């Protein structure tokens, strides 16, 4: 079977997407993703150089809003739903890998 995606690549995208896979999952997911991508080879094979990509289904342009205020939320509206809060701010564990 052609290698439309390797398990290393699956590992890499899992990492990019902040997901951890067990070795079994890695094997299973690789097989499953491969099946989908193999199916997508029909699209890959098409010569569409002259066709414009279509990001939006409708040809709308220039939808904007005026620079006037809208009602805002109060901290009590959403902080109670937060996993961890301190002094009105969202608390997260220490962030690594920035400065030396």
Partner 1 sequence: MNSVTPKQYQSASEIAGLVANRETSAVEILERHLNQIEEHEKDVNAFNLVTINEARAAAKETDKLIVEGGNVGPLAGVPIAIKDNLCTKGIPTTASSKILEGWKPPYDATVVRKLKEAGATIIGKTNLDEFAMGSSTENSAFGPTRNPHDLSCVPGGSSGGSAAAVAAGFAPIAIGSDTGGSIRQPAALCGVVGVKPTYGGVSRYGLLAFASSLDQVGPFATSVKDAAIVHEVIGGYDPLDSTSIKQAPNSFVNEIDQGVNKLKVGIISELMGGIDGITQEVIKQTNIAVSALSDAGAQVEEVSLPAALYCLSAYYLIAPAEASSNLSRYDGVRYGLRVDGANLKEMNVNTRTEGFGDEVKRRIMLGTYALSAGYYDAYYGKALKVRRLLAENFADLYKDYDVLLSPTSPCTAFKLGAKIDDPMTMYVNDVCTIPSNLVGHPAISIPFGSGKDGMPIGVQILAPPMNESVMYQVAHTLEKASQ
Partner 2 sequence: MNQETFKDNWELIVGLEVHVELATQTKLFCGCLNQFGSEANTNVCPVCLGLPGSLPVVNETAVYYAMQLGRALHCSVNRSVFARKNYFYPDMPKDYQISQYDLPTNLNGYLELPTGEAVGIERAHIEEDTGKTTHIGTSGRISGSDYSLVDYNRAGIPLIEVVSKPEIRTIEQAKAYVSELRNIILALDISDAKMEEGSIRVDANVSVRENGEQNLRTRCEIKNVNSLKSLGRAIEYEANRHISLYGNGEYPKQETRHWDEDAGRTRSGRSKEDAEDYRYFTEPDLVPLNPSEETIAKIDQEMPELPSERRRKLANLTGVKSSDMTLLVERNHDAFALDAIEGGGEPEKVVKHLVNNLSSGLGALTPEALAQLIQMENNSEITSTQAKKVLGELVQRGGTPANLATELGFEAVGISDLENLVDQLINEHSDEWERFCSGDTKVQGFFVGQVMKSTSGQADGKVINQILNERSTAK
Contact footprint for partner 1 (CB under 8 A): 5, 9-10, 13-14, 16-20, 29, 32-33, 35-37, 39-44, 46, 48, 51-58, 60, 63, 65, 73, 77-78, 81-84, 90, 92-97
Mention every residue, 6+ apart, whose C-beta is less than 8 A from residue 20.
14
Q: Tell me how far apart the alpha carbons of residues 74 and 76 are, in angstroms, rounded to a whole number.
A: 5
87 binds, among partner 2, partner 1, none (CB under 5 to 8 A by kind): partner 2
69 binds, among partner 1, partner 2, none (CB under 5 to 8 A by kind): partner 2
* Cβ-based burial of 74 (10 A; exposed 0-12, middle 13-18, buried ≥19): exposed
């Amino acid at each position: 079977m052609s290698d439309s995606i390797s398990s290393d690549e699956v590992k890499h995208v899992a990492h990019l997407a902040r997901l951890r896979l067990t070795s079994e999952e890695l094997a299973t997911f690789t097989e499953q993703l491969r099946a989908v991508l193999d199916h997508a080879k029909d699209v890959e094979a098409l010569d569409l150089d002259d066709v414009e990509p279509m990001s939006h289904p409708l040809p709308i342009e220039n939808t904007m809003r005026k620079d006037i205020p809208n009602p805002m939320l109060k901290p009590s509206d959403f902080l109670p739903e937060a996993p961890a809060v301190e002094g009105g701010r969202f608390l997260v564990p220490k962030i690594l890998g920035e400065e030396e």
